[in-house]
Amino acid sequence: WFCFNKRSKSRRQRSAQLCPGPYPFPLIGNILQLGRNPHQSLEKLSKTYGPLMSLHLGSIYTVVVSSPEMAKEILQKHDLVFSSRTIPAAVQSHDHHKNSIGLLPVGNKWRDFRKICKEQMFSTQHLEASQGLRQEKLRKLCDYVQECCVKGRVVNIGEVAFVTTLNFMSATLFSVDFTNFDSDTTHEWKETMEGLFAIVAAPNFADFFPLLKKFDPQGIKRRADLYFGKLLSMFENVINQRLESRRTHSDTSFKKDLLEGLLELSEGSEYDLSPKVMKHLLLDLFNAGTDTTASTVEWALTELLRNPNKMSIAKNELITVIGKNIRVKESDISKLSYLQAVIKEVLRLHPPAPLLVPRKSEVDVEINGYIIPKNSQIFVNVWAIGRDSSIWPNPNTFEPERFLDSKIDFKGQDFEFIPFGSGRRMCPGLQIADRMLLIMVASLIHNFNWELEPGTKQEELDIREKFGLALHKEVPLKALPVKP
């Protein structure tokens, strides 16, 4: 019976065909069809070729998923088959991929990392314990904006959100304040991290044509080595300083952070957690959490400034729930249902990872009558799903109200709305991201009124997108804070 079943399965698979897709040019395949904003080009192509579409990116066979039904097949029904990642050459710098929670294949090491992060950082208990640290950084953000308000200075929203997120993360991970607004350290961190993001997101011929890998034709691997090296040594310093202060002080004020948890675990025998491994884990958490969160805050303020009536509703809710002139706290979040709907609507329209983080198939698998061969790269176009008019009425309009009486959430079960992915590789930082997003947006709009830069009209506010590691605004949002 077993032999029969196996044989009939392989016969079925043989009769299945590859997914439809645009005709590939010799050698380069469909690379040119990706354009500057691949999520948008792929959405257009999927209207012709359907929700499971194939592309040839050089020699990489890629399947693009563009419907909730197909996303559910891939991320839930066949979760294990699609649970590993494609590994671009740039992230192989300093062997990062061998110690990266985001890139390791599903196996013991990856499971250990997920478990450690869940228990030491992302649990409700840890998030509650570290909220005071984030509150302090929020105060700094408000003080800085207040200063700009007094001086009549325009604020670059993406930049202040980036610095604040960096500080939230450094506070939660290792109780250190990395940056101050406008300081040299801020610029150094920002430049290094943005340099790394740009290099990792850049299309690399060596990925499309593996034979070119050893020649590194665009110098991407070489530059990635520099950025990774710099950031890893910055994290190594933080670890060494903590080890030193553990040796010399009995100060336990940093006891609640992730680094302390990691060092305690490294003293036991359960996990392989040398400082060498730890610095890669810290780097991954920073990289995964900072740009995604900061760009979402920038989009949220952009949409609220373009839609003044929605801004008023959100501000009125804050006044009613919290009260005038009172600072927002994380404990207020659960009472701010309109603001929660605003954040969901922003993530529907502007998911920071519009194609999720690419997955890879471990074996041949048949889906919806098509065969997806082993080692195919998988993009899930959540941007296209979020703007599909058969799912969302008026898909391009900013309407937080659509989430008010709806149970649809981003926790990975509603496949029409999966900005954090789904299945075993789903974003583990969802809870902390949600907290950071809500308190940052709430503080910015509760404590200040915002005006556009002189000369900019609200209906002309630029909303073009720039594809990268996170989906940014092409033109940064600059706005003038005014005391209410």
Residues annotated within a binding site for heme = 427
Residue 429 sits in the site that holds ligand HEM (CB under 6 A) = yes
Give CA angle at 184 (179, 188), nearest 5°.
80
Three-state SS string over 375-393 comes to CCEEEECHHHHHCCCCCCC
CB 381 within 8 A of CB 39: yes
Helices (H), 307-336: 308-321
Q: At its nearest, how many Å lie between ligand HEM and the CB of residue 280?
A: 11
* CB-nearer residue toward ligand HEM: 61 or 417: 417
Q: At its nearest, how many Å lie between ligand HEM and the CB of residue 426?
A: 5
Amino acid at site 163: V
d(CA 484, CA 447): 7
Q: At its nearest, how many Å lie between ligand HEM and the CB of residue 437?
A: 6
d(CA 252, CA 266): 18
Residue 278 sits in the site that holds ligand HEM (CB under 6 A) = no
Residue 88 sits in the site that holds ligand HEM (CB under 6 A) = no
Stretch that binds ligand HEM, among 64-72, 154-162, 267-275, 289-297 (CB under 6 A): 289-297
Q: At its nearest, how many Å lie between ligand HEM and the CB of residue 361?
A: 14
| Residues 6+ away with beta carbon under 8 Å from 158 | 294, 295, 297, 298, 472, 473, 476, 477
* CB-nearer residue toward ligand HEM: 34 or 101: 101
Site for ligand HEM, residues 34 to 63, rule: CB under 6 A: none
Candidates 419, 439, 445, 467: give the one binding ligand HEM (CB under 6 A). Answer: 419
Of 386, 293, 350, the residue nearest 465 (C-alpha): 350
Length of the chain: 484
Tokens 């979040």 correspond to what residue? 333
Q: How far apart are the first and last CA of the chain?
A: 75
Residue 65 sits in the site that holds ligand HEM (CB under 6 A) = no
61 bridge partner residues: 56
Residue 289 sits in the site that holds ligand HEM (CB under 6 A) = yes
Q: At its nearest, how many Å lie between ligand HEM and the CB of residue 403?
A: 16
Residue 425 sits in the site that holds ligand HEM (CB under 6 A) = yes
Residue 432 sits in the site that holds ligand HEM (CB under 6 A) = yes
Residue 448 sits in the site that holds ligand HEM (CB under 6 A) = no
Instruction: Draw the binding track, 363-402, toward ligand HEM (x: CB under 6 A; -: no contact).
Output: ----------------------------------------
| Residues 6+ away with beta carbon under 8 Å from 123 | none
d(CA 33, CA 29): 9
Residue 357 sits in the site that holds ligand HEM (CB under 6 A) = yes
Q: At its nearest, how many Å lie between ligand HEM and the CB of residue 285?
A: 5
CB 127 within 8 A of CB 432: yes
Site for ligand HEM, residues 93 to 112, rule: CB under 6 A: 101-102
Binding site for ligand HEM (CB under 6 A): 101-102, 284-285, 288-289, 292-293, 296, 352-353, 356-357, 419-422, 425-429, 432-433
